[in-house]
Amino acid sequence: MNPAERIAEALQSRRNVLLLNHVSPDGDCLGSTLALAHALWGRGQRATVGSSDGVPVMYRFLPGSDRVAGEIPAGETFDAVVFMECSSPDRAGALAARAAGVPLWVNIDHHLSNTGFGHLVLLDVNAGAVAEVAYPVVRTLHPSIDRDIATCLLTALLTDTGSFHYASVTPQSFLLAADLIRAGASPTAVYAEVYENRSAASLRLLGAALSGLAFAEGGRVAWTTVTQAMLRETGATMEESEGIVGTLRSIRGVQAALLFKEEAEGIRVSLRAQGGIRANVIAETFGGGGHAAAAGFTVRASLDEAVRRALGAVRQELAAAAHAHPGDAT
């Protein structure tokens, strides 16, 4: 029995399964937890999808998203918990506390920074999306992949692979997409829901962020900020800042792009990298994590101080990369 089958076997006899998303959930995480929930629901099992930060508006088209719980009644008990895309349990946010005392912890992820916690671990750091990791579990539990499951998984795959163009994309990503489209998922509909359904306010926010665009390290680093004042002025929400950092990385010559987001708990930094720069290594120095190409962390300091410290860490990683691959230095 392979690890995915072992997880499916362990889940199929449970009375009530808790499926946890990470904080600031993205399409990959939500799509994968919902696909697993549909598989359990389809078998007649009880399962609750928990998301400490709720469901961003752009993902509310996902079948089952109306059943995602931001809070769980105190009396409800679970006999298994699945942490989806959580490199450590605390990534699940406030709802992580509900895993205490649950007898089975399952950890499904594709992040390099995953600590390997839990009783059953399914980790593939080479997967383009956690959907690819979760799919064999879903399929073993519920062999007939219906349109709802397929739509959830295709959304996960599409969003986490940058619509199939990131370096993390493998033949496996396309094979999964083929299965999902055959099962009834529509790439046209999913793309339109996620990327062509934007509010005017989110574009005003993009404009404001781009007008504050700054460069460092001779143009190899691009950064900007989204402050609470900018949200008030544009009418956008912080979740609508998703995508801005990718726009910065698309600038010619940029190896590292940073977006500094002013949030209640501190400055949340979204980091994107390429050309031998390891975003996860930078993020880990601040207690965050992620992948080589995309990572995040929080700095509990003023915006100016967070920018200063983060740019310092990026400078060190640029130097380390130049040292490791002298030929790449420009």
- Interface residues with ligand AMP (CB under 6 A) are 22, 24, 85, 87, 91, 111, 113, 270, 288-291, 294-297
CA neighbor of 68 nearest in space, from 119, 32, 104, 97: 32
Q: Does 130 bind Mn ion (CB under 5 A)?
A: yes
What is the four-CA torsion angle of 198, 51, 257, 326, rounded to 10 degrees?
-140
Using CB distances below 5 to 8 A depending on partner kind, what does residue 248 bind out of ligand AMP, Mn ion, none?
none
Task: Please state the closest distance from residue 168 (CB atom) to Mn ion, in A.
Answer: 9
Q: Which is nearer to Mn ion, 28 or 148 (CB)?
A: 28
CA neighbor of 193 nearest in space, from 68, 57, 65: 57
Q: Does 160 bind Mn ion (CB under 5 A)?
A: yes
Task: Please state the closest distance from residue 135 (CB atom) to Mn ion, in A.
Answer: 13
Q: Where are the beta strands (DSSP E) in 126-239?
A: 214-216, 221-226
Task: Please state the closest distance from residue 111 (CB atom) to Mn ion, in A.
Answer: 7
Q: Which is nearer to ligand AMP, 91 or 220 (CB)?
A: 91
End-to-end alpha carbon distance in the chain: 49
Q: Does 28 bind Mn ion (CB under 5 A)?
A: yes
Using CB distances below 5 to 8 A depending on partner kind, what does residue 130 bind out of ligand AMP, Mn ion, none?
Mn ion
Using CB distances below 5 to 8 A depending on partner kind, what does residue 155 bind out of Mn ion, ligand AMP, none?
none
Using CA atoms, how far residue 42 sits from 47, 119, 138, 149, in Å, is 10, 25, 11, 10
Say whether 110 sits in a helix, a strand or coil. coil
What are the respective helix, strand and coil percentages of the chain, to the nearest 5? 45, 20, 35
Q: Which is nearer to ligand AMP, 46 or 198 (CB)?
A: 198
Tokens for 82, please give them: 């699945």
Is residue 274 packed enough to be buried (19+ CB in 10 Å), middle (13-18) or exposed (0-12)?
A: middle
Using CB distances below 5 to 8 A depending on partner kind, what does residue 297 bind out of Mn ion, ligand AMP, none?
ligand AMP
Q: Which is nearer to ligand AMP, 112 or 318 (CB)?
A: 112
CA neighbor of 221 nearest in space, from 263, 249, 195, 183: 249
Q: Which is nearer to ligand AMP, 56 or 288 (CB)?
A: 288
Task: Please state the closest distance from residue 214 (CB atom) to ligand AMP, in A.
Answer: 18
Using CB distances below 5 to 8 A depending on partner kind, what does residue 113 bind out of Mn ion, ligand AMP, none?
ligand AMP
Q: Which is nearer to ligand AMP, 89 or 288 (CB)?
A: 288
CB atoms within 10 A of CB 40: 24
Q: Give me the residues that bind Mn ion (CB under 5 A), please.
A: 28, 130, 160
